[in-house]
Structure 1
Amino acid sequence: MRKSCERCNKALKDHLYAYICVHECTYCKECTSQVKNICPNCSGELVRRPRPPMNQQI
């Protein structure tokens, strides 16, 4: 999983701050809202990144 936004390079601390598309393009909440939840790379829907398993670090 990417640790920063592809658009503004903002660090993404955990799953609560990251949005991804089906191809795992990764954006912060602010950039996601600016592009209206549509991935600029592939036109897929951007959704909140799922939480990793409890025993796995990001």
Structure 2
Amino acid sequence: MLEMRPNCECCDRDLSASGDDAFICSFECTWCADCVQTFPGGACPNCGGMLQLRPRRAPHKLVTSPGSTIRVVTPGCRTDLA
């Protein structure tokens, strides 16, 4: 099972597992709303897939299934879009 990533892969901003400020693609690449607005067509810069608002994890489930602590950052995610 993949764990929810704790940050935006582009700007490294913290993202809450119970918040509504994260977007994911079918590969679960994770991006903040601000970075998604800069991606051409709103597509994932890694795979070109459609980005959707990431579902929130219910607070009571965060106790036994917390989000990941492993941060993933894609260097140059914005420069690759030019």
TM-score normalised by the shorter chain: which range applies?
A: 0.7 to 0.9
Of residues 47, 55, 58, the one that matches 2:60 is: 55
Identity %: 40
Which of structures 1 and 2 has the larger relative contact order (alpha carbons within 8 angstroms, sep 6+)? 2
1:10 equivalent to 2:13? Answer yes
Please give the root-mean-square deviation of Cα atoms over the aligned residues, in Å: 1.4
Q: Which residue of 1 aligns with 2:45?
A: 40
Give per-residue Cα distances to partners, 1:4-48, cap 9 Å, x unaligned.
000000001233010000000000000011104200000001110
**Structure 2 residues not aligned, in runs of 5+:** 68-82
Contact kept? 1:18, 1:27, Cα under 8 Å = yes
Q: TM-score, length-normalised on structure 1?
A: 0.87
Moved over 4 A (4+): none
Q: Give the aligned length.
A: 58
**Structure 1 residues not aligned, in runs of 5+:** none
- The CA distance in 2 between the partners of 1:43 and 1:24, in whole Å, is 12
Higher strand content, 1 or 2: 1
Q: TM-score, length-normalised on structure 2?
A: 0.64
Larger radius of gyration: 2
